[in-house]
Amino acid sequence: MGTRPVKAADLANLREQALAAERAGDRDTAMQRMAHAVELAGDHAALLNSAGGLALRLDRRENALAWYRKAFRLVPDSIEYATNFAIALHRFGHHDEALATLSGFEFSAQRDARYFATRGHVERALSLLDDAAKSYDGALSLQPDHARAMHGRARIALERADDDVVARYEAALRLNSNDPELLLGYAQALEITGRNDDALALSERLNAAAPRWTDALSQTAQLRLARGDDNFTAPYYEAALRAPDDAAIRLEWARQLAGLDRFSEAADVAANARRAFPDDPRFALLEAVHAGEAGDDARAGAIFAELSGRSATRDLHEARHWIRLGDQEQAEALLLRVLDERPFDIGAWALRSICWRLSGDSRLEWLHGQDTLVQRLPLPLEPQSLRTVCAVLHALHERSSLPLGQSVRGGSQTRGRLFARSTPEIQRLHRAVMGALDSYRAALPDRDDRHPLLRFRDTPWRTDGSWSVRLNSSGFHAAHIHPKGCVSSAIHLELPDTDGMDRAGWLELGRPPRDLRLNLPPERMVEPRRAHLVLFPSTLYHGTRPFEGGRRMTVAFDVVPRGTKLGLAFRRFKPAMKKGGGT
């Protein structure tokens, strides 16, 4: 006797029961009822599509992806199903698959604003900013009041520092004047166009309205630092008073202080937070980290001894503590545990290289000493083009400032992704960089799957993160690493006249950061040459020597392998490992 067919009315009733449970706030019942309906229905694309929407709203990743995927496979020419599936893929970080899902519908979706807006979101996540701008423009040509497309297009203008960025945010705000993300983006747009007072006033309004919003607090702190306010973290203090139950405020507060080497203050913020949140283990670890950076090894050691539970993050920071105390064997044992869990963690490899130097381990030669891992290459750019690039960068620096949480000491750093800018001179520089990267790769040793750089030797590369730094007299870069890439860089565009004295302004590779308090020289030093770039493994700590007189202007970027999540392997809980700040 065959199975009785399920009636459409029964499926509709089960679906409605699931949605009713969702409206009532009973998430588990909603999912159970929808899963039951899906099981009974079998290959019912419309129900699967509806089920995927429920799972996405309830943040049930596996169900959302599985149900949307099946609906799309059953009806592969459906723009609606393709778009919904792509939204879910994008939401959960599968951006490449999301773009592949949307590809091929350009013609059939030419009247579908939602498709083009979704495609813009995905392309922006993949750093395909020009493509994203075209997709958003396509959505807005079909539906000029599409709020998400207008916001996305404004965000692209911000990341590329387009001339119309303020106008785009103002247009988006006319549609939705109370959207906090739009208001924060507007404040950032005002800042990059030189209207710092207006940006600060808006950021402070956001802080007053939403004291728990750490992105807005960071924006205010950055603006206060830019105007020379030594108490630039005051917004965090005020926010903590207004929202004493919010741990995230204290975490960000300590991070911002540590990012400018104010380690003792950061440790005290963490200690106060530890008393306020006794059940939150993050603050004990944070206090130990910053106490150690501040030189209070006894305080740090006592806290590490009391901590319960192990994690890669804890092991990484405790390894730094043991390096300071001179116990490389204990430090390396902890680093090996980190690398067992995260085999290509840049921070762990960088610390391991220091242990190897201290112990005289020959493996250091394999990691950093092989021929051509460090290269200085001429920048394939004509002299006139170089002059115009420098003029554009100087104009950017005139409205840039000392950044929070970076390695720059005594200068300014551009905001956003430099190579995303549509300025012809910057795009010309980016093309020259890509040509130099091809030359660098061609000269590297053979692929080595054990090596944190050479395992990606034959993988397609892209630049990720790009910025310019202009140092003034006495300026320098503190020793740091870039934990989200496999290759780091420094393009030297303008240099002070130092006459080679004391190697002033030179690039130091492999000198440990100051907080480790090790009397180790750099592994190597590189004399900067104008119109040349230096490329080297991201596992090398790097910084620069101070110089007197003149200015030093560079551009830097990270290199990441396409289609990987290398940067996600290292979750940022490491104030001493400063991002950005190209040398």
Average pLDDT value for residue range 364-383: 95
pLDDT at 407: 55
For 375-569, CATH number? 2.60.120.620
Q: Phi first, then psi: what are they for 246, rounded to 5°?
A: -100, 105
**pLDDT higher than 80, residue 505:** no
- Residue 470 forms beta bridges with which residues? 412, 553
pLDDT at 461: 93
For 8-187, CATH number? 1.25.40.10
**pLDDT higher than 50, residue 3:** no
**For residue range 88-126, what is the model confidence (pLDDT) as tens digits?**
999 999 999 999 999 989 889 999 999 999 999 999 998
**pLDDT higher than 80, residue 343:** yes
Average pLDDT value for residue range 504-520: 90
Provide DSSP, 169-218.
Answer: HHHHHHH-TT-HHHHHHHHHHHHHTT-HHHHHHHHHHHHHH-TT-HHHHH
Q: Which residue has the tokens 């990270």?
A: 558
pLDDT at 6: 62
Domain ranges of the chain: 8-187, 205-363, 375-569
Instruction: Taking the CA atoms of 411, 416, 420 and 425 in sequence, report the sign of the dihedral they define.
Output: negative
Provide DSSP, 539-559.
Answer: TS-EEE----SS-EEEEEEEE
Asked if residues 127 and 160 have their Cβ atoms less than 8 Å apart, the reply is no
Q: What is the spatial distance between Cα 165 and Cα 342, in angstroms, rounded to a whole number?
A: 39
pLDDT at 182: 97
**pLDDT higher than 60, residue 537:** yes
CA 231 to the chain's CA centroid? 26
Q: Which residue has the tokens 């030669």?
A: 365
pLDDT at 101: 96
For the chain, how are helix, strand and coil distributed in percent, rounded to 5?
55, 10, 35
Question: Which pLDDT band holds residue 395 (cuts at 50, 70, 90)?
Answer: confident
pLDDT at 569: 36
pTM for this entry: 0.83
For 205-363, CATH number? 1.25.40.10
Angle at 73 between CA 67 and CA 75, to 5 degrees: 105
Q: Tell me if domain 205-363 and domain 375-569 are identical in fold.
A: no
Question: Which pLDDT band holds residue 2 (cuts at 50, 70, 90)?
Answer: very low
Please tell me which residue, 32 or 421, carries the higher pLDDT value: 32
Q: What is the spatial distance between Cα 304 and Cα 582, in angstroms, rounded to a whole number?
A: 33
Q: Give the list of residues 6+ apart from residue 144 with CB closer than 8 angstroms, or none.
A: none
**pLDDT higher than 50, residue 367:** yes
Provide DSSP, 524-544.
Answer: EEE---TTEEEEEETTS-EEE
Please tell me which residue, 402 or 429, carries the higher pLDDT value: 429
pLDDT at 443: 97
Asked if residues 414 and 467 have their Cβ atoms less than 8 Å apart, the reply is yes
**pLDDT higher than 70, residue 278:** yes
Residue 486 DSSP class: S
Q: Phi first, then psi: what are they for 533, rounded to 5°?
A: -125, 150
Nearest residue to 583 (alpha-carbon basis) of 519, 508, 520, 513: 508
Question: Which pLDDT band holds residue 574 (cuts at 50, 70, 90)?
Answer: very low
pLDDT at 1: 38
**For residue range 219-234, what is the model confidence (pLDDT) as tens digits?**
999 899 888 888 999 9
Q: What is the spatial distance between Cα 190 and Cα 318, in angstroms, rounded to a whole number?
A: 41
pLDDT at 166: 97
Q: What is the spatial distance between Cα 90 and Cα 84, in angstroms, rounded to a whole number?
A: 10
**For residue range 248-260, what is the model confidence (pLDDT) as tens digits?**
999 999 999 998 8
Q: What is the spatial distance between Cα 281 and Cα 317, in angstroms, rounded to a whole number?
A: 14
pLDDT at 309: 87
pLDDT at 575: 34
Q: What is the spatial distance between Cα 297 and Cα 290, in angstroms, rounded to a whole number?
A: 10
**pLDDT higher than 50, residue 496:** yes
**For residue range 54-77, what is the model confidence (pLDDT) as tens digits?**
999 999 999 999 999 999 999 999
Question: Which pLDDT band holds residue 14 (cuts at 50, 70, 90)?
Answer: confident
Q: What is the spatial distance between Cα 522 and Cα 157, in angstroms, rounded to a whole number?
A: 40
**For residue range 438-491, what is the model confidence (pLDDT) as tens digits?**
999 999 999 999 999 999 999 999 998 898 988 877 777 788 898 889 999 999
Q: What is the spatial distance between Cα 136 and Cα 415, in angstroms, rounded to a whole number?
A: 23
Q: What Cα–Cα distance (Å) separates residue 407 from each residue in 413, 469, 515, 581?
A: 10, 10, 13, 5
pLDDT at 450: 95
**For residue range 404-444, what is the model confidence (pLDDT) as tens digits?**
545 556 678 887 788 888 788 999 999 999 999 999 999 99
Q: What Cα–Cα distance (Å) separates residue 61 from each residue in 52, 81, 89, 90, 563?
A: 9, 17, 9, 11, 21
pLDDT at 332: 96
The token duo for 540 is 């090398």
**For residue range 146-200, what is the model confidence (pLDDT) as tens digits?**
999 999 999 999 988 888 999 999 999 999 999 999 999 999 999 988 899 999 9
Q: How many other C-beta atoms are found inside a 10 Å radius of the C-beta of residue 343?
A: 14
- Burial-class residue 91 by CB neighbours within 10 Å (0-12, 13-18, 19+): middle
**pLDDT higher than 70, residue 403:** no
The edge-to-edge listing of strands for the beta sheet with 542-544 is 524-526, 507-509, 542-544
**In this prediction, what percent of the chain has a pLDDT beyond 70?**
93
